[in-house]
Chain A
Amino acid sequence: MAPKPPQGLNCTALHPPPFLLPRSTFRAQFLPQSTTRTIKSTFTPRPSRFAPPTTGLPTLSASSTAALARKAASNTLPLRPGALAIKKGMTAMYDAESGKRTPCTVLQLERNEVVALKTRERHGYWAVQVGAGWKHPSNVTRPMLGHFAQAGVSPKRWVAEFRVRDEGGMVDVGGRIGAGWWREGGWVDVRSTGRGMGFAGGMKKWGFSGQPASHGNSLTHRAMGSAGGSQGSGSRVLPGKKMAGRMGNESVTVQNLKVLKVDEENGIVVVTGCVGGPKGCIVKIQDAIKKPWPEFTMPPFTGKISGAPVLEAEVEAA
């Protein structure tokens, strides 16, 4: 920071009389005096490295509005919500013309219904909360029972949130999402929790080479070896050092899977390739963000953000 120039009217009064001041200061009184004595910067402010003006992107700022605008500009938020499905297993499909065999994963949608909506005004972003499966009401806590009751849906076994770009992706609360949401030939991203491997050593978890089986080696064949240098390198283990530990049981996203088959009646969606997690695990399917958005027509959105009318009707009936 540049030094502050003296300010105020009587700042000279604080100085000693001129004859007591050093010679150089005394002489300076005859020169034209400027009120500010600072170092002038020769650099103009640099354009942002992340959103330079040439790109036309909005300038970076910390507000939530700017963050949403950035997200919209990056075009990585799907236009509509996805659904929850159960991984049922793998098989193969043959193309009758070319005879090409494609390994595929069979997913079955489980009674997906919209439970709640997240709006820009109230929550700061747009999202659709989707519930799937069924849970016996006696196993559901009262707060959650109320949550499902206000949506007018049965208690759900799984609940997940799907972010969407804007209001256009909203679905009425209580609305259903079935396998017909997707078309054959479309592209989806599938995310699920991978298998947990438990506590795994460095060789399995990170692919370390281990140590030789022989050449005088004894009792140390699968150890990770050294964790870092000694005095010259700081005699410490650097943060993020790959070591043995819990492996797996993490979210796994597989992008750009092609939809090979859709059976709306049985809730089946068949996608190419493999999907993380064991058979019977819950997976989230949503439109692929790295492919052009699919053409679709959303069910008419009436702006209903709770299933209250259904609830009242139910109460009257009871």
Chain B
Amino acid sequence: MATQPASMRPLARLNPLLRHARACNQRRSFLSITPEDIRKHKPLPGFSSLTSPRQPVKVIPTFPPRPAPKHTCPDPVAFIEATQLAQLDPTGARTRLFAKYNSEGAKVGDVLLVRLKNGDPFAGVCINIRRRGVDTAVLLRGQLTRVGVEMWYKIYSPNVEGIEVVQRMQKRARRAKLYYLRQPRHDRGSVENVVRQYMKTRAALGVGTERRKEAGLKQKKSKGKKKQVAPAA
């Protein structure tokens, strides 16, 4: 018997063909859709607007930032203070005198003498050093007319001509702020004698004679109106 052409085969012979096609489809579903599939895909007429690819997002040009002053000068406050200090304390002596890690410098508990441009010199026990850059100040406790007086002096103020350590504390103070010296039982009282002694020694050594004379004269002249010193510096 001659073989029949494919079209003439009975319908039942289609079953294996369909089975094969199904299997192919199934296998295909496991595979991911490739971009080529999408490209080949033709939408049904009338539905093109739903399936058409989106317009690419318009790129908005952005401009690079300019160099920022905060990079060239990250700490303007420190910069301003440094320029100030360069004028007020060009040698850096005042800074060194009150530097925290300078073992030779002034410490709390020392007796300090502050000479002023306009006003009497003031001597007292330093009970506080407030370190704030250009605003650094010391609190001195002394006596005027046998009354305890405390004075703040900004160490970089142009009014402050000089600060001298008259007497160092015997033992290092174990506090940063010696406010206990305000209590009567701890009060050091007048430092006048200590300062006079210091002046004498200095005169003997011949150091700063002119200055001492000036200071001495001022002291004598204005004994009666010492209270005017208060608002200075």
A-chain residues with CB within 8 Å of residue B84 when the two chains form the complex: 91-94
Q: Which listed residue, B63, B69, B75, B158, touches A153 by the CB 8 Å rule?
A: B63
Interface digits, A125-165 against B, CB 8 Å rule (1 contact, 0 not)? 00000000010010000100110110011110000000000
The answer to whether A188 has its CB under 8 Å from any CB of chain B is: no
Identify the closest chain A residue to B88 (Cβ).
Answer: A94
The answer to whether A318 has its CB under 8 Å from any CB of chain B is: yes
- Beyond A99-B159, A111-B65, A314-B63: 17 further Cβ-contacts under 8 Å? A91-B81, A91-B133, A92-B134, A92-B135, A94-B156, A96-B87, A106-B80, A108-B70, A108-B73, A110-B69, A110-B70, A137-B62, A152-B63, A154-B62, A266-B79, A311-B61, A318-B61
Which residues of A line the B interface, CB within 8 A? 86, 88-96, 99, 101, 106, 108-111, 113, 134, 137, 142, 145-146, 148-149, 152-155, 176, 261, 263, 265-268, 270, 310-311, 314-315, 318
Contact check, A266 vs B63: say whether CB atoms are below 8 A apart. Answer: no
- Taken together as a complex, chains A and B put the C-alpha atoms of A149 and B60 apart, in Å, by 7
- A273 CB to nearest chain B CB (Å): 15
B-chain residues with CB within 8 Å of residue A134 when the two chains form the complex: 65, 68
Contact check, A267 vs B156: say whether CB atoms are below 8 A apart. Answer: no
B-chain residues with CB within 8 Å of residue A263 when the two chains form the complex: 73, 76, 79
Identify the closest chain B residue to A145 (Cβ).
Answer: B60
Q: Which listed residue, B62, B73, B81, B87, touches A145 by the CB 8 Å rule?
A: B62
- Taken together as a complex, chains A and B put the C-alpha atoms of A137 and B133 apart, in Å, by 39
Question: Which residue among B61, B64, B66, B81 has the maximum number of chain A CB atoms within 10 Å of its CB?
Answer: B61
13 sample A-B contacts, Cβ–Cβ < 8 Å, listed by A number? A89-B77, A92-B135, A93-B84, A96-B87, A99-B117, A101-B157, A109-B69, A110-B69, A137-B62, A154-B62, A266-B79, A268-B79, A268-B80
- A138 CB to nearest chain B CB (Å): 10
- Taken together as a complex, chains A and B put the C-alpha atoms of A88 and B116 apart, in Å, by 32
- Taken together as a complex, chains A and B put the C-alpha atoms of A240 and B66 apart, in Å, by 48
Q: Which listed residue, A91, A310, A311, touches B77 by the CB 8 Å rule?
A: A91
Contact check, B158 vs A94: say whether CB atoms are below 8 A apart. Answer: yes
A-chain residues with CB within 8 Å of residue B62 when the two chains form the complex: 137, 145, 148-149, 154-155
Please list the 8 inter-chain residue pairs (A to B) with the smallest Cβ-Cβ separation, ordered nearest first.
A267-B69, A266-B73, A134-B65, A99-B158, A99-B159, A154-B65, A89-B77, A137-B62
- Taken together as a complex, chains A and B put the C-alpha atoms of A155 and B65 apart, in Å, by 8
- B121 CB to nearest chain A CB (Å): 16
Interface digits, B64-107 against A, CB 8 Å rule (1 contact, 0 not)? 11101110110111011100100110000000000000000000
- B155 CB to nearest chain A CB (Å): 12
- A178 CB to nearest chain B CB (Å): 9
B-chain residues with CB within 8 Å of residue A176 when the two chains form the complex: 66
The answer to whether B115 has its CB under 8 Å from any CB of chain A is: no
- Taken together as a complex, chains A and B put the C-alpha atoms of A88 and B134 apart, in Å, by 16
Question: Which residue among B70, B118, B133, B159 has the maximum number of chain A CB atoms within 10 Å of its CB?
Answer: B70
A-chain residues with CB within 8 Å of residue B72 when the two chains form the complex: 265-266
Q: Which listed residue, B76, B134, B157, B233, touches A266 by the CB 8 Å rule?
A: B76
The answer to whether B141 has its CB under 8 Å from any CB of chain A is: no
B-chain residues with CB within 8 Å of residue A93 when the two chains form the complex: 80, 84, 134
Identify the closest chain B residue to A260 (Cβ).
Answer: B80
B-chain residues with CB within 8 Å of residue A268 when the two chains form the complex: 69, 73, 76, 79-80
B-chain residues with CB within 8 Å of residue A106 when the two chains form the complex: 76-77, 80
- Taken together as a complex, chains A and B put the C-alpha atoms of A310 and B158 apart, in Å, by 52
- Taken together as a complex, chains A and B put the C-alpha atoms of A91 and B82 apart, in Å, by 11
Known A91-B81, A106-B80: A111·B69 in contact at CB below 8 Å: yes
- Taken together as a complex, chains A and B put the C-alpha atoms of A265 and B60 apart, in Å, by 32
B-chain residues with CB within 8 Å of residue A265 when the two chains form the complex: 69, 72
- Taken together as a complex, chains A and B put the C-alpha atoms of A109 and B77 apart, in Å, by 13
Identify the closest chain A residue to B60 (Cβ).
Answer: A145
- B136 CB to nearest chain A CB (Å): 10
- B132 CB to nearest chain A CB (Å): 9
A-chain residues with CB within 8 Å of residue B65 when the two chains form the complex: 111, 134, 154
Identify the closest chain B residue to A95 (Cβ).
Answer: B158
- Taken together as a complex, chains A and B put the C-alpha atoms of A20 and B184 apart, in Å, by 114
- Taken together as a complex, chains A and B put the C-alpha atoms of A95 and B157 apart, in Å, by 9
- Taken together as a complex, chains A and B put the C-alpha atoms of A109 and B73 apart, in Å, by 11
- Taken together as a complex, chains A and B put the C-alpha atoms of A155 and B66 apart, in Å, by 11
Question: Which residue among A96, A108, A176, A314 has the maximum number of chain B CB atoms within 10 Å of its CB?
Answer: A108
- Taken together as a complex, chains A and B put the C-alpha atoms of A88 and B79 apart, in Å, by 11
- Taken together as a complex, chains A and B put the C-alpha atoms of A137 and B64 apart, in Å, by 10
B-chain residues with CB within 8 Å of residue A110 when the two chains form the complex: 68-70
- B226 CB to nearest chain A CB (Å): 20
- Taken together as a complex, chains A and B put the C-alpha atoms of A89 and B77 apart, in Å, by 6
Contact check, A88 vs B69: say whether CB atoms are below 8 A apart. Answer: no
B-chain residues with CB within 8 Å of residue A113 when the two chains form the complex: 66
